[in-house]
Amino acid sequence: MATNSDAIEISLDEIRAARAAGAATVQHTPIVRSAYLSELLGGKVVLKAENLQRTGVFKIRGALNKVARLGDAARNGVVTGSAGNHAQALALAAQLAGVRCEIFVPKGASLSKVAASRRFGATVLEGGDNVDSAIIMALARSAEAKMAFCHPFDDVDVVAGQATLGLELLEDIEDLEQVIVPLGGGGLLSGVAIALKLQKPGIRVIGVQIDSCAPYLYGEMPAGPVPTLADGIAVKKPGVITRPLVDKWVDEIVAVDESSVADAMMLLMEHSRLFVEGGGAVGVSALLTGRVTPAQTGTTCVVLSGGNVDLGLIPNLIRRHETEAGRRLIVFTRLPDRPGGLARLLTIFANMDANLIEVQHVREGLDFAVRETGVQITVEVRGAEHADLIINAAKAEGYEISAITGR
């Protein structure tokens, strides 16, 4: 392989060698047909369920190849900076190779990803406000301790490892026409594009970034943390190696917003029974928002690059989804601050088959009478028409519904 970033070439033989390096550990993840997306969008859409990969993310492909290629150069151990997914992958690769592993993660990194890295035997250290600062600290540690630095994406061996996913796509999808891939640093996107186009140049490859951190579209992003559901792809600047590869091999790059990513995560849970993290769901988001349309003929494949979702996030996603879908009604009203006042209102809701979720009393911050209180009530409903019936029933009994959301 060349080391000049302006002239890098990765061959099919090198990609196949990377596949052999990971053969004992990397899973050949399934292709899942999405009847819901196919019918909704009018094209044949399938999902590459890399969220079911070992460590829950595609990164193990590149990490195993990198550690294998290092050989004796990794005798003092390996070190990296990562938001969490590469951290887990390198930790496992180092454990399998029997070498030490240290990982620098930014503040606010996913607790589940950090915990998984430690379970694989890595030492996890705080590495500043973002992935870039974590990488800088890892580079300093590499020089100090003579450990081998393993970049999360900007490395030829890592790209060759990620490219093995492209080999699987061609083996599994006979009429593949278009592939949609999440884009963070560019290792996965460029690798998949190379593997596909070296064999079938006509396949269209599209990368998807989160618009709050999209350096391939908008240029290098300012310093500081980026709060996003797609933390796994929130990379501040393109790689020196991966940028030329993306420019050469990728057909198009688009960006999606935070709200549509949340919608995509819930759609995958609800209709495909797949848990996919924000960075892994951006391809579905691009389809839902029309940023990308399915191929008119043949199959469009969306790569679900990772499934490491913090469980604490799931209830918030469900609440938001239920509200947006009109299946939650949130009402605010004033009640006499006397025994039985709330019970009478809740009886009305119960008689209308509304399922009570939550009641919050509001006694301060509004102009209440002396013997008056406010309540915010959240109920589960069947839809907008059912919500209207409930509201009208409460109004008919004299209740003033002054604030209504979730319809």
pTM for this one? 0.83
Q: Please tell me the predicted confidence (pLDDT) of residue 328.
A: 81
Query: Model confidence over 135-144: pLDDT tens digits?
Result: 999 999 999 9
Give the separation between CA 207 and CA 305, rounded to whole angstroms: 12
Mean pLDDT for all residues in the chain: 90
Q: Please tell me the predicted confidence (pLDDT) of residue 39.
A: 95
In order of their start, the domains of the chain are: 12-58+157-311 (3.40.50.1100), 61-152 (3.40.50.1100), 326-405 (3.30.70.260)
Whether the per-residue pLDDT at 214 is higher than 70: the answer is yes
* Residue 177 pLDDT class (50, 70, 90 cuts): very high
What does the pLDDT average to over 248-256? Answer: 97
Q: What is the DSSP string of 138-197?
A: HHHHHHHHTPEE--SSS-HHHHHHHTHHHHHHHHH-TTEEEEEEE-SSSHHHHHHHHHHH
What does the pLDDT average to over 43-68? Answer: 96
Whether the per-residue pLDDT at 182 is higher than 70: the answer is yes
Give percent above pLDDT 90 in the chain.
Answer: 63
* Residue 406 pLDDT class (50, 70, 90 cuts): low
Query: Model confidence over 356-388: pLDDT tens digits?
Result: 888 888 776 666 766 778 888 888 888 878 888
- Give 215 or 339, the one with higher predicted confidence: 215
Q: Please tell me the predicted confidence (pLDDT) of residue 367.
A: 65
Q: Please tell me the predicted confidence (pLDDT) of residue 150.
A: 96
What does the pLDDT average to over 143-169? Answer: 96
Would you say 164 and 153 are in contact if contact means Cβ atoms under 8 Å apart? no
What does the pLDDT average to over 171-182? Answer: 97
Residue with tokens 């949130």: 330
Q: Please tell me the predicted confidence (pLDDT) of residue 6.
A: 65
* Residue 164 pLDDT class (50, 70, 90 cuts): very high
What lies within 8 Å, CB to CB, of 242 at 6+ separation is 153, 154, 159, 185, 186, 187, 189, 190
Whether the per-residue pLDDT at 4 is higher than 60: the answer is no
Phi, psi of 27 (to 5 degrees): -90, 140
Q: Please tell me the predicted confidence (pLDDT) of residue 405.
A: 58
Label residue 389 exposed, middle or buried (CB < 10 Å: 0-12, 13-18, 19+). Answer: middle
Q: Please tell me the predicted confidence (pLDDT) of residue 320.
A: 79
